[in-house]
Amino acid sequence: MAANTSTTRTKKNVNKTDTAKPAEVSEPIDHKEIDITRPELYINRELSLLAFHKRVLAQAKDQKMPLLERLRFLCIASTNLDEFFELRVAGLKQQVAVGSVQAGPDNLSPQETLNRISVAAHEFVEEQYRLLNEHLLPALEQEGIYFLKRDCWNKAQSKWVRDNYDNELWPILSPIGLDPAHPFPRILNKSLNFIVSLKGKDAFGRDSGMAVVQAPRSLPRFIQVPPELSEHPYDFVFLSSVIHAHVEYLFPGMTVTGCYQFRVTRNSELFVDEEEIDDLLRALEGELPGRRYGDTVRLEVADNCPEKMINFLLKHFKLNQQDVYQANGPVNLNRLLSLADLVNRPDLKYPSFKPGIPSSLGRNLFSTIREGDILLHHPFQSFTPVIDFVRQAATDPQVLAIKQTLYRSGPDSVLVDALVDAARSSKEVTVVVELRARFDEEANIRLANRLQEAGAHVVYGVVGYKTHAKMILVVRREGKKLKRYVHLGTGNYHDRTARVYTDYGLLTCDEDIGEDVHKMFMQLTTLGRGAKLKKLLQSPFSLHAGLIKRIEREASAARKGKPAHIMAKINALVESETIQALYRASAAGVKIELIVRGICCLKPGLPEISENIHVRSIIGRFLEHTRCFYFLNGGKPEVFCASADWMVRNLHKRIEECFPLETPELKQRVIEQGLKLYLEDNSQAWVLDSEGNYTRLSPEDDTQVVSAQQTLLQMLAEKA
């Protein structure tokens, strides 16, 4: 391994406390004396999620990163915050509206949680614009990339902007003067709008004093100035600046006294009562348009907007002062994401790379899989073998059936192309499409219709349970027998996200695993009780109990004075019974090392409770998405990969798969590359303390820098 496998000395950005090296396991104590249900032992779920978004935002101020990638992280953080309000804050507001006081393990009521979110989210927004205005925009200007303000346009640029307005904006703008005959227009979720104050009377003698201008959603939020008119290598103007500069032309004969951008965020959760409908697809199609006009949960306005106009908007949208966020810049920061595609500066971006392909892979994947299991680690290794697996199955005359789950696959999926070809070739193709994959519902409806038109059998899973498992089953005739080939993964069948999400995928023809996957597909497509699985653990039936059993087995070993060790890499840790089992195991003396990318409701390092638990989060170039678990098991280690996180929804309310790695080589790969390497990371790791706070690690001057993602790129990927 390219990484330093010795103990790594690190320092925090705040101080030089050595936190990268796990503490020695403390003496076991009698866990029966500990009350592990006390609220102070738990971190609030929503506040932990917001803390993750702050760690993403912190990447934007890391000067060691390429500049355009820093801007990208700012945009990602903005998008994350949008979704946080659309779903999590919206849900809490609904609970408050119906008078709910139900609290989670942390004992915070919905209203108390909203109050704390408001404080943290306002700090978040303030930091966003501080980073943009004081760090990123000046740094971009040093590289010749300018966003020109209105007062900086020269004569030629002003004329070009006016021509752009006349040709591109004027024909499609529809300003609405507010009066009894022109009520406040319906405002689309997250759209760019302007509230305009006016003086004077129009041609009909009306004097309402206010109007709303809605920016067309079809237009980009910033426009590049032609090179012949640019004073720098790259000059851009914001669409909002163009509208501001010409807003008076929308109200001839009147005086514009103010023009301020604003945006509202709405509840984007879809509600469909599955027990009361006959066709889930049609019901969701009917619900999707309503997402654009759900209840408002947040108002963003320009920071120079007068209080009188803010109060007017708050009253109209039925919000309060806690819900208003003032923006010192564009209200829709995530639209800046396209800048990286418009600027040809490779030196300001991450170096390109070509994902590696294991040398063991032959042209015929079925014969290669028969020789031994194949483990792929994306994006360091290519997703192409997964695509080829389905493509070869679609064209192989010996393949009789293909079954696959689709949660998120993208609107133009090459995998769906292969499934369509297979169905048209008269193969038995069965696809479980999860229509309720949040924000991908519309794309999944189109995929389902396309597959059905090709002759595939399409089902939507199980009523009341999302199908989140990642499985492909290929049934092939070989001689006089039928043989099953399987792909199981931790991530979605999406060829583009496979380039930026870290995930594991297993290709195998193990008979027991093939039979288990067959049984799971039977559960998803038919009625009846599920059969017992031989090797896979499955939510909502055996996965939660299987995890608890293994955690308790390690605890039992520790109480007997035997070595006990748990390592897990997951995206979220929320489920309270699992947390309590980890607390009991820690108190018994089990060494527990957790790599939790996002939400973590467990508090590590609490005396006599969790002092043997260490939690870190890795934030880097790629979104950490692998879920893998290790249990020492008395010297016979068990290693699993899974589609599920340790959350209530994954363990109890979804169909998930968790598969063992049994080949010694593949098992060791996950231990070394998927777990230990991340525990050695001292450059992209954030350590969680017993107070619920995260601190970023950085290496001492004389310590080797360890970046798990960079090391894996060097080990597994090919050079660009």
Looking at the DSSP assignment, which residues form a beta bridge with residue 291? none
- Is 121 contained in some domain? no
Range of the domain at 267: 143-341
- Is 321 contained in some domain? yes
Same domain for 369 and 269? no
Q: What is residue 335's DSSP assignment?
A: G
Give the list of residues 6+ apart from residue 218 with CB closer than 8 angstroms, or none: none
Contact criterion met (CB below 8 Å) for 708 and 3: yes
The predicted pLDDT at position 531 comes to: 77
**In the chain, which residues have pLDDT < 50?**
1-24, 29-31, 270-291, 437, 720
Same domain for 500 and 583? no
Q: How far apart are alpha carbons 386 and 505 in whole angstroms? A: 8
Which of 497, 528, 559 lies at the terminal end of a domain, its last residue? 528
- Is 71 contained in some domain? no
Same domain for 370 and 498? yes
Same domain for 700 and 568? yes
Pairing between strand 501-508 and 374-378?
Answer: antiparallel
Same domain for 438 and 544? no
Q: How far apart are alpha carbons 368 and 327 in whole angstroms? A: 56
Nearest CA to 236 among 345, 150, 162? 150
Q: How many CB atoms lie within 10 A of CB 324?
A: 20
Q: How far apart are alpha carbons 292 and 171 in whole angstroms? A: 24
Contact criterion met (CB below 8 Å) for 639 and 671: yes
**Active-site residue list:** 468
Element (H, E) at 258: strand 255-266
Contact criterion met (CB below 8 Å) for 80 and 56: yes
Q: How far apart are alpha carbons 162 and 212 in whole angstroms? A: 21
Same domain for 521 and 571? no
The predicted pLDDT at position 440 comes to: 54
E-strand ranges in 59-192 read 145-147, 176-177
The predicted pLDDT at position 599 comes to: 97
CATH code for the domain of 301: 3.30.1840.10
Element (H, E) at 617: strand 613-618
Domain count, the chain: 3
Peptide bond preceding 379: is omega within 30 degrees of 0, i.e. cis? yes
Q: Which amino acid is at 81?
A: L
Same domain for 612 and 702? yes
- The half-sphere exposure of 613 on its side-chain side, counting CA atoms within 13 A, is 31
The predicted pLDDT at position 343 comes to: 96
CATH code for the domain of 680: 3.30.870.10
The predicted pLDDT at position 454 comes to: 87
Contact criterion met (CB below 8 Å) for 298 and 93: no
Contact criterion met (CB below 8 Å) for 659 and 487: no
Same domain for 428 and 486? yes
H helix runs in 531-647, sequence order: 543-559, 576-588
Same domain for 159 and 262? yes
Same domain for 636 and 658? yes
Phi then psi dihedrals of residue 617, to 5 deg: -125, 135
Contact criterion met (CB below 8 Å) for 502 and 379: yes
Q: Is 165 left (phi over 0), alpha (psi -120 to 50) or beta?
A: alpha
- Is 287 contained in some domain? yes
- Is 171 contained in some domain? yes
Which of 498, 528, 558 lies at the terminal end of a domain, its last residue? 528
- Is 25 contained in some domain? yes
Angle at 630 between CA 626 and CA 634, to 5 degrees: 175
Q: Report CA-CA distances (Å) from 390 to 263, 406, 452, 459, 475.
A: 44, 13, 18, 19, 11
Same domain for 504 and 372? yes
Nearest CA to 683 among 668, 667, 698, 701? 698
Q: What is the pTM of this model?
A: 0.90
Which of 309, 341, 373 lies at the terminal end of a domain, its last residue? 341
Same domain for 524 and 547? no
Q: How far apart are alpha carbons 627 and 262 in whole angstroms? A: 40
Q: How far apart are alpha carbons 567 and 593 in whole angstroms? A: 5
End-to-end CA distance of the chain: 21
Q: How far apart are alpha carbons 105 and 46 in whole angstroms? A: 12
